[in-house]
Amino acid sequence: MKSLILLKALADESRINIFRLLLERDAYIEVISERLKLAPSTVSFHLKKLVEAGLVSSKKDQYYTIYSAVSNFAEMTLKDLVLEAGVKLKEQDKVEEQYKDKVLKSFFKYGKLTKIPSQKMKREWVLDRVAESLAPNRGYTLIELKELLTEIYPDPGILVTEMTTAGLIEVQNHKYKRT
């Protein structure tokens, strides 16, 4: 979640300008204030946010505090920030798989398809599951295919049509093959 803190810290034009100035050179509050035409108290407020986010570091030099941009953050791409900030893809995949299993269980009872879903995504998942019952690299005649699919759904003709349309099976030399 460090990315979110970085993005929030840079979600202000004044902070971006301060950070850009510090990328060019280290500076005191008074110098930043003068160059950006901001009140020293405003610069101090924004610097505090940038320091908390880890974008800027500070060190004491006698009476003054010198601020510097932390260069490794300046070299990060937006893609790096977004990927770090987002929900982990493996977690998303797991949630999606659980949802897919739930959907499939609602359309299959005891290995038989109860109905073909009208929603495109659910229909694709159901048809993929039906296609798994076909042996890969084996050609079926239409009669063989319908016999096999009758065990899954009472109207195998609809399944053949839907699976062909979805690109899950194709016809080659009067034989139906799983793609």
Note the pLDDT of residue 1.
Answer: 45
The average pLDDT across 1-27 equals 86
Q: Which structural domain, as residue segments, surrounds residue 16?
A: 2-80
Q: What would the pLDDT profile of 35-45 be if each residue is shown by its tens digit?
A: 999 999 999 99
176: which strand partners?
140, 171
Outline where the chain has alpha helix (H): 2-9, 13-24, 29-36, 40-53, 71-74, 78-85, 89-107, 120-131, 142-150, 156-165
Note the pLDDT of residue 39.
Answer: 94
* Co-location of 20 and 97 in the same domain: no
Q: What would the pLDDT profile of 70-124 be if each residue is shown by its tens digit?
A: 877 767 777 776 666 565 667 778 889 999 999 999 999 998 999 999 999 999 9
* Co-location of 130 and 61 in the same domain: no
Q: What is the CATH number of the domain that holds 75?
A: 1.10.10.10
> Which range has the worst mean pLDDT, 31-45, 59-73, 108-122, 133-147?
59-73
User: How many whole angstroms separate alpha carbon 5 and alpha carbon 161?
Assistant: 52
Q: Report, in angstroms and rounded to the nearest whole number, the Rg of the chain calculated over CA atoms.
A: 31
* Co-location of 72 and 104 in the same domain: no
* Co-location of 37 and 58 in the same domain: yes
Specify the number of domains making up the chain.
Answer: 2
Residues 6+ apart with CB under 8 A from 38: 14, 32, 46
